[in-house]
């Protein structure tokens, strides 16, 4: 999972081997926004208002596609 600024700077990256829970809970907040206290969630502060989200997933079995 990548969150990318419009300048193509990756300001947050999370890969499957880095996760500590399944599912992963992440809250993205805008710049200068207060950071909420949400149990079990990682809070990511975005450096800019505009951003892109990229999620890649490897599907080893097409029968599992419906589970995504």
| Residue pLDDT tens, the chain, 68 long | 888 888 888 888 888 778 877 788 888 888 888 877 788 888 888 888 888 887 777 777 888 777 76
User: What confidence score (pLDDT) does residue 24 get?
Assistant: 82
User: What confidence score (pLDDT) does residue 19 get?
Assistant: 80
Q: How many domains does the chain have?
A: 1
For residue 10, the enclosing domain spans 2-67
Contacts 24+ apart (CB under 8 A), 51-58: 51/3, 51/4, 51/5, 51/6, 51/11, 52/3, 52/4, 52/5, 52/6, 53/1, 53/2, 53/3, 53/4, 54/1, 54/2, 54/3, 54/4, 55/1, 55/2, 56/1
């Amino acid at each position: 999972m990548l969150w990318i600024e419009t300048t193509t700077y990756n300001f947050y990256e999370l890969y499957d081997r880095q996760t500590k829970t399944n599912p992963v809970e992440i809250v993205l907040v805008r710049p200068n926004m207060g950071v909420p206290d949400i149990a079990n969630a990682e809070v990511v502060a975005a450096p800019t208002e505009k951003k892109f989200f990229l999620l890649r997933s490897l599907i080893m079995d097409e029968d599992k596609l419906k589970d995504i």
